[in-house]
Structure 1
Amino acid sequence: MAGWPDRRIPDLFGIEHPIIQAPMAGATTPEMVVAACDAGALGSLPCAMLAVEAADRAIAVIRERTRCPLNLNFFCHAPPEPDPVRLLAWRARLAPYYVEQGLDPEAPVPASARAPFDDAYCALVEKHRPEVVSFHFGLPEPGLLGRVKATGAKVISSATTVDEAMWLERQGCDAVIAMGLEAGGHRGTFLGGDMARQVGTFALVPQVADAVSVPVIAAGGIADARGIVAALALGASAVQIGTAYLLTPEAKISPLHRKALETATEADTALTNLFTGRPARGIMNRLMRELGPLSPDAPAFPLAGGALAPLRARTEPQGNADFQSLWSGQAARLARPMGTGALTRRLAEEALAKLGG
C-alpha cells in the first residue's frame, strides 16, 4: 500500500496521518483527543469554553494518557463593547418563548462562556508546551503570538478566503486551515463577514494552495476517505474533520443533538448567528425557522447565547431541541458511528487504499 503523497503536515506535527480531529468546543473530550492521537491523527483540545483551571486539568489528563503530539485551540475574538439597547431588544425578541415556557422574561441573563486567548491562556501554553496551537477568528496580538511561538509550538489558524490565508502566512503561521462554507460550527472569518460570499471547501483549497507557501489543511464537508483523497488532490497536505467525530461515543453532546445528527441530510443545516452572535453552521430547529437563521437582532459574539440558556434548560428535558445549537457540517449523513480511534484508523486506511489503487 502506498504511503501519503504529501508528508509536510505529518512531518511538521510529528503525527502518522494527515488527519486533524477538529477542536469542537463543548463536544470534544480528553478521551476523544487521546483516542485520535493514539490512532495517528492530531488530537485537538478546544479551550475557549473551558476556564483556565479546567483546561489545565484536561491537558494533564491527556498528557498522562498519551505521549503523542497535541493541539490546543483558542478563539481570538475581541470582547464586545457593552450594548444594553441591543441586549434588551434581543430579550424582547425572545420574550414570547419565555412566556410560552413559563419563564420570567425579565430574569437575569446567564453569562456566555467563550473567552478569547489572553495572558492566562498563554501561560497555560507555556506550561504544557503543546506541539501545535491553533486559533480561530485570526490570531492573538503579536506579543502573545510571540510567546506561543517561543515555546516551540507550531501555529495554525483558519482562513475562509485567500486573503485571510495570505494574511495568516505573513503573520508567521506554520500552516493554514482552508475552511469552506460546508464546515460545521463557527466560521473562522476575521477579514470581513459577508456570509453570502462564503466559498466552498473544494473551490477554496486549490486557490489557497496556490497563494501560500505553507502547507494547507482542508476543512469542511470532509467525512470519509473520498473527501480526504479529493482534498489532497486539490493541493491540501492534510484534512481537519469535525462532524464525523460527533457520532463517536467520546463526543460530549446531548442525546437530542446526537439524534439530529443521525437523521440530518445535506440540506438540513444553515449558517446561524442566533446561538452565539457569530455565524456558525448547525442543523435547523424551531428557533432558526421562526426567527430566520441569521438575525440582526442577535447580540455580538458571544453574548447572544446567554438569553437562550434558560429556554434550553427548560425544553431539553422535554425532549425537544428548539433552543439549542446543533452544530453540524453538511456531510453529517456520511458519518459512521464508531469509536474515535476506530474511525481515525478506518479513514486513514481507506484513503491510503484509494491513493494506492
Structure 2
Amino acid sequence: MLDRTLPIVQAPMAGGPSTPELAAAVAGAGGLGYIAGGYLTPERLLEAVRATRGLTAEPFGINLFVPSPEAGQRAAVGAYRQRLLPHAERVGASLPGVDELPWDDDDHYRAKIDALCALETPPALVSFTFGLPGHDDVAQLRARGTLTVATVTDEAEARAAVALGVDGLCVQGPEAGGHRGTHDALADPDTRPLAELLPAVLDAVADVRGRLNVTAAGGIDTPGHVRLMLGLGADDVQAGTAYLLADEAGTNRTHAAAVAAGGRGTLVTRAFTGRPARALANALALEIGDAAPAAYPAVHHLTRPLRAAAAGAGDPELLHLWAGANCSRVPAAPAAEITRWLAGGDAAIATDITDE
C-alpha cells in the first residue's frame, strides 16, 4: 500500500510514543509511518500532520479511534473506583467521580474526519481502530483520494470491513502491545496467535484479495517474525513495541525505563481503560485488573489522573506499560535503523536480539 520500498509499518501508538519525528523517520527509511490520532483534538491532530509534512515528503498514515456505544455500567465503574482509591492516594492523584466522567466521549471522531478531508492536501491513508467507519466516512475520504484501512481481529470483522470497501486490513493478533482493536468493546478478544489468525482471515477474504492490502500486526519484533508473516501471505507487517525505545519516540520515561529494564512478563488487562490491552505486568493490573469493568472510555478517563501521577513520580506499578508479547527484545536506536533492521538489514543495531 502506497509507494514504499520496505514492507514495514510503524504502529500508531496513541498517548505519547507516536510523534511526527517517528513517523517521518520511518517513512524516510522506506516504511510507512503513522500519526496516532487517538486522544488528540482535531486541532492537535492537524498540528501533528503539518509537523510531519514539515519533516518528510513521503506519505504517512493517520489512525483514528471509532467511538464505542456507551457501555453504561455506572455501578460497576463506581465499585472499581473504590478499588482504585488507595492506589491513587499513594501518588497523590484525585480520581473523578462517576457522574463527572464523559460517558459519551467520541474522541472527536466526526470532527477529525471533517478536518482531515478539509486539508488542501488530504492524507494519503487513514486507518481505523475499535470499530468500522461508516459507509459515508469511507466515501468522504475516498472522494479526497485517501485510502482507508480497518483494524480487524477475526474473520467476521474482516468480512464486515471488506463489505465497506476499505482498501486494506490490519490483522491484529493477541500478541500486540496496547489495545486490542476489537470492534465490540464488551467482547473477549480472539486468542488465536497471529500465525493462525492471519491465514484464517486471508481465507475469509480470498474473493477480494487482489484489491486488498493486508497488514499483519502483533508481536512482530525481529526480522525473522517479519519474514514469517510475509511468508504467510501478508503484504506488509506492523510493529509498535519495536519502536518504543526509538530515538524519535515520545514514550514517557517511566514506561521506557520499564521496557528497557526487562524482567517483566506481559498480560492482557482492562485495568487501565476498560478495553483489553496488553501491557507489562505490574501491581495495579495484577492486584485489581480482574475487577475492571468493560466500560471504555469511562475507565480510561477514571484512571487518567492516576496514570499521569504515576508517570510523573516514576512509579511503573500504577502505569499502563503497553508492550507486546515479545517486549524483552526492544532495540534502542534511530527509527530509520530499526525499520531497515526489521526489513532484514542493519542487524548490528540489535546484536543481542535473537532473529527468530
Which TM-score band (shorter chain)?
0.7 to 0.9
Q: Partners in 2 of 1:311 and 1:200 — Cα distance?
A: 32
Match of 1:166 in 2: 159
* 1:32 and 2:22 matched: yes
Paired residues of 1:135 and 1:156 also in contact (CA < 8 A): yes
2:273 aligned residue (271, 276, 282): 276
Match of 2:256 in 1: 258
* 1:177 and 2:170 matched: yes
**Closer/same/farther in 2, CA of residues 166 and 106 from structure 1, 3 Å limit:** closer
State the Cα distance separating 1:333 from its structure 2 match: 1.9
Q: Partners in 1 of 2:260 and 2:108 — Cα distance?
A: 33
Q: Partners in 1 of 2:310 and 2:272 — Cα distance?
A: 15
Specify the SS of the correspondent of 2:268.
strand
State the Cα distance separating 1:282 from its structure 2 match: 0.6
Match of 2:114 in 1: 123
1:149-180, CA deviations, whole angstroms, 9 ceiling, x for partnerless residues? Answer: 21111111111112211221121111111111
Read off the aligned partner of 1:231 and give its amino acid letter: M
Q: Partners in 2 of 1:110 and 1:36 — Cα distance?
A: 37
Match of 1:65 in 2: 55
Q: Partners in 1 of 2:251 and 2:227 — Cα distance?
A: 29
Specify the SS of the correspondent of 1:89.
helix
Q: Partners in 1 of 2:219 and 2:89 — Cα distance?
A: 38
Match of 2:216 in 1: 218
**Closer/same/farther in 2, CA of residues 318 and 24 from structure 1, 3 Å limit:** closer
Aligned ranges 1:308-319 → 2 under 5 Å: 308-319=303-314
**Closer/same/farther in 2, CA of residues 208 and 117 from structure 1, 3 Å limit:** farther
**Closer/same/farther in 2, CA of residues 96 and 248 from structure 1, 3 Å limit:** same
Q: Partners in 2 of 1:116 and 1:315 — Cα distance?
A: 24
Structure 2 unmatched ranges of 5 or more: 348-356
Paired residues of 1:221 and 1:329 also in contact (CA < 8 A): yes
Specify the SS of the correspondent of 2:145.
coil
**Closer/same/farther in 2, CA of residues 321 and 25 from structure 1, 3 Å limit:** same
Specify the SS of the correspondent of 1:332.
coil
Read off the aligned partner of 2:11 and give its amino acid letter: A
Range with greater deviation from structure 2 (310-319 or 18-27):
310-319
1:225-272, CA deviations, whole angstroms, 9 ceiling, x for partnerless residues? Answer: 10110001111111011100001121112222112112335x711111
Structure 1 unmatched ranges of 5 or more: 1-11, 353-357
Paired residues of 1:218 and 1:238 also in contact (CA < 8 A): yes
Paired residues of 2:95 and 2:303 also in contact (CA < 8 A): no
Paired residues of 1:228 and 1:351 also in contact (CA < 8 A): no
State the Cα distance separating 1:315 from its structure 2 match: 3.7
* 1:14 and 2:3 matched: yes
Specify the SS of the correspondent of 1:189.
coil
Q: Partners in 1 of 2:255 and 2:160 — Cα distance?
A: 35
Paired residues of 2:131 and 2:183 also in contact (CA < 8 A): yes
Q: Partners in 2 of 1:238 and 1:102 — Cα distance?
A: 44
Match of 2:146 in 1: 153
TM-score, with normalisation over the residues of structure 1?
A: 0.87
**Closer/same/farther in 2, CA of residues 218 and 338 from structure 1, 3 Å limit:** same
Paired residues of 2:273 and 2:303 also in contact (CA < 8 A): no
Paired residues of 1:74 and 1:117 also in contact (CA < 8 A): no
Read off the aligned partner of 2:315 and give its amino acid letter: N
Match of 1:23 in 2: 12
TM-score, with normalisation over the residues of structure 2?
A: 0.87
Read off the aligned partner of 2:340 and give its amino acid letter: R
Q: Partners in 2 of 1:193 and 1:87 — Cα distance?
A: 14
Range with greater deviation from structure 2 (326-335 or 24-33):
326-335
1:287 aligned residue (284, 287, 303): 284
**Closer/same/farther in 2, CA of residues 282 and 210 from structure 1, 3 Å limit:** same
**Closer/same/farther in 2, CA of residues 200 and 351 from structure 1, 3 Å limit:** farther
Specify the SS of the correspondent of 1:72.
strand
Paired residues of 2:70 and 2:103 also in contact (CA < 8 A): no
Q: Partners in 1 of 2:78 and 2:171 — Cα distance?
A: 37
Range with greater deviation from structure 2 (87-96 or 221-230):
87-96
* 1:74 and 2:69 matched: no
Paired residues of 2:269 and 2:277 also in contact (CA < 8 A): yes
Q: Partners in 1 of 2:298 and 2:200 — Cα distance?
A: 34
**Closer/same/farther in 2, CA of residues 289 and 347 from structure 1, 3 Å limit:** same
What is the aligned-residue RMSD (CA, Å)? Answer: 2.5
* 1:88 and 2:78 matched: yes
State the Cα distance separating 1:46 from its structure 2 match: 0.8
> What is the total number of aligned residue pairs between the two structures?
338
Q: Partners in 1 of 2:302 and 2:190 — Cα distance?
A: 29
Paired residues of 1:32 and 1:340 also in contact (CA < 8 A): yes
Range with greater deviation from structure 2 (182-191 or 237-246):
182-191
Paired residues of 1:216 and 1:237 also in contact (CA < 8 A): yes
State the Cα distance separating 1:351 from its structure 2 match: 9.9
